[in-house]
Amino acid sequence: MFQGETAITIDDKGRLAIPTGYRDVIARACEGRLVITYNPFEAGSLYLYPMPVWERVRDQVNALPRTKSVSRSLQLKLVGAATFVEPDANGRIGIPASHRSAVGIERRAVLLGMGDKFELWSEQAHHEQIRMTLSDADLGEAMLDLQL
């Protein structure tokens, strides 16, 4: 559903404009209702889920045993931090200041379409992630199994 990399500017009020190419898809997929939460696996980024996808993820995460610390951590980072947003008339969504601050998103960011969700990365963290990925020997080995 979503793919591609887009440089994004966060305005002074903490809003980003959803790229025009995604606006109709988001409107159809979830009536514009999105959920922003932390990426529990990598620092420097947030997840943006369409509501139907989010509901499935939320239910799976909440079904994990709360007595296990790894499950509890996942519940806190995903469900506890989830914020509902909808685009305004200009296609902008507000990213909570607490979320931006926690992952280092300031003025410049990168929005990645990741199939069923978006990832919003600080520009610096995204560049670091790309550099690590390009030098990752294990990634090259994993690609040998793909039919490219």
pLDDT band at 43 (very low <50, low <70, confident <90, very high): confident
Q: Is residue 10 within 8 Å of 105, Cβ to Cβ?
A: yes
Query: Which burial class, exposed, middle or buried, applies to 115 when counting CB atoms under 10 A from its CB (0-12, 13-18, 19+)?
Result: exposed
For residue 10, tell me if it sits in a domain. Answer: yes
- Number of independent structural domains in the chain: 1
What is the DSSP secondary-structure string of 29-77? HHTT-EEEEE-SSSTTEEEEEEHHHHHHHHHHHHTS-TTSHHHHHHHII
CATH number at residue 76: 3.40.1550.20
For residue 129, tell me if it sits in a domain. Answer: no
Residue for token pair 């898809």: 25
For residue 117, tell me if it sits in a domain. Answer: yes
Query: What is the domain extent for residue 118?
Result: 2-123
For residue 148, tell me if it sits in a domain. Answer: no
For residue 43, tell me if it sits in a domain. Answer: yes
For residue 131, tell me if it sits in a domain. Answer: no
For residue 61, report the phi and psi dihedrals to the nearest 5 degrees.
-65, -40
pLDDT at 136: 63
For residue 40, tell me if it sits in a domain. Answer: yes
Is residue 148 pLDDT above 60, yes or no? Answer: no
| pTM, to two decimals | 0.88
For residue 75, tell me if it sits in a domain. Answer: yes
